[in-house]
């Protein structure tokens, strides 16, 4: 599984631009909506609204010696298939600097990789711990927790009458129904429209306008977006009844699916199984050697830092060396 590149995103230009907004949330990833700027091949700047939905989707294992995972070997009963399936294409960069994240432009169903469909029987945190056990106990050579990410992008597009729609979100319907441009003169001062109209639906007022091409460049998308941001910062401060101001985005693309693998890499020598190598690990190994420790099976295996299939004084010495070299 190490064939997956770490540290180099191989993505299409649009997805590359979008990945700047990604963040990591705990072990997994956070679903979110954010705006980003994209410059096309002609140098025209546009604003994209990106919706990311990320889902934990099971465990991927590489089995030793060409063997196949079975319920008996892995200790649980779940569907198991070769990985990846045909519906997967690109593994995208979710880690943003975290070496545990792997991504690659093209993934072939090779290297003895299998997906364990455990997302219905264990949580993401449980999958992290279970995948770690598979590696520690030598059941799998490598293991990763699998995620799927769906991205939909929206652009600022004029409607059929070539108007841009600005949404004023009021605190209740009464305020919205009483809307007039005279009550909120900042709208016409800041927005560089050639015409203004409005409609009310519940507590939202939609302001329609055609932009002035002499004032707005590149069809106005970036400049209009910035003007609406200015209104959003200003109007809620000036008028209690206004909650927010936003521009309408049209989602022109369908959701594309990408996947990410979070590599599970046990810290050998970590006798306390807390993902940190320190003096407490030396103490635990020493206590184990003297038969005064109650380390469980996984902790004993993790303590074997030199990987010679026994936990002894040499492991304590190696862990101590690691601490001194930090």
Check residue 41 and give left, alpha or beta (phi > 0: left; psi -120 to 50: alpha): alpha
Burial of 275 (0-12, 13-18, 19+ CB in 10 A): exposed
- The tens digit of pLDDT for each residue in 145-189 reads 988 777 788 888 777 777 888 999 999 999 999 999 999 999 999
**Residues 117-127: what's their mean pLDDT?**
93
What confidence score (pLDDT) does residue 80 get? 92
41 versus 241: the higher-pLDDT residue is 241
The answer to whether the peptide bond before residue 84 is cis (omega within 30 degrees of 0) is yes
The string of DSSP codes covering 224-275 is HHHHHHHHHHHHHHH-TTEEEEEE--EE-SPPEEEEEEEEE---TT-TT-SS
91 versus 232: the higher-pLDDT residue is 232
- The tens digit of pLDDT for each residue in 250-295 reads 876 555 566 777 888 888 988 888 888 889 989 988 998 898 888 8
What confidence score (pLDDT) does residue 58 get? 93
- The tens digit of pLDDT for each residue in 201-246 reads 999 999 998 776 666 655 557 888 899 999 999 999 999 999 999 9
Give the CA dihedral 272, 277, 280, 284, nearest 10 degrees: 50
Angle made by CA atoms 22, 232, 225, in degrees to the nearest 5: 60
The percent of residues above 90 in pLDDT, for the chain, comes to: 32
Token couple for 247: 């521009």
Dihedral sign from CA coordinates of 239, 242, 248, 254:
positive
- The tens digit of pLDDT for each residue in 95-110 reads 333 445 444 444 454 5
User: Phi and psi dihedrals of 164, rounded to 5?
Assistant: -100, 140
What confidence score (pLDDT) does residue 205 get? 96
230 versus 3: the higher-pLDDT residue is 230
Distance CA 28, CA 24 (A): 7
What confidence score (pLDDT) does residue 215 get? 64
* DSSP symbol at 204: E
Token couple for 72: 């008996």
């Amino acid at each position: 599984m190490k064939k997956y590149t770490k540290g180099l995103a191989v993505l299409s230009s649009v997805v590359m631009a979008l990945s700047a907004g990604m963040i990591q949330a705990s072990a997994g990833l956070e679903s979110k909506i954010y705006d980003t700027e994209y410059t096309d091949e002609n140098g025209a700047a546009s604003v994209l609204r990106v919706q990311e939905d990320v889902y934990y989707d099971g465990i991927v294992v590489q089995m030793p010696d060409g063997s196949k995972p079975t319920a008996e070997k892995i200790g649980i009963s779940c569907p198991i298939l070769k990985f990846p399936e045909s519906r997967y294409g690109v593994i995208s960069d979710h880690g943003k600097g975290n070496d545990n994240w792997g991504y690659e432009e093209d993934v072939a169903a090779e290297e003895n990789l299998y997906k364990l469909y455990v997302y219905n029987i264990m949580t993401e945190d449980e999958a992290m711990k279970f995948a770690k056990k598979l590696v520690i106990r030598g059941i799998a050579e490598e293991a990763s927790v699998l995620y799927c990410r769906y991205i939909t992008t929206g652009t600022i597009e004029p409607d059929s009458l070539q108007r841009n729609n600005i949404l004023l979100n009021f605190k209740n319907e009464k305020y919205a129904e009483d809307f007039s441009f005279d009550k909120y003169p900042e709208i016409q001062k800041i927005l560089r429209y050639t015409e203004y109209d409005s409609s009310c639906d519940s507590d939202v007022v939609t302001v329609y306008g055609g932009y002035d091409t002499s004032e707005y460049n590149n069809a106005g998308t970036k400049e209009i977006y910035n003007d609406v941001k200015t209104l959003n910062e200003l109007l809620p401060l000036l008028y209690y009844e206004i909650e927010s101001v936003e521009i309408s985005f049209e989602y022109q693309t369908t959701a594309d699916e990408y996947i990410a693998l979070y590599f599970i890499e046990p810290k050998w020598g970590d006798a306390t199984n807390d993902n940190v190598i320190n003096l407490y690990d030396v103490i635990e190994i020493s206590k184990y050697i003297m038969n005064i420790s109650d380390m469980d099976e996984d902790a004993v295996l993790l303590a074997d830092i030199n990987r010679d299939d026994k936990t002894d004084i040499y492991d304590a010495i190696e862990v101590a060396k690691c601490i001194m070299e930090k």
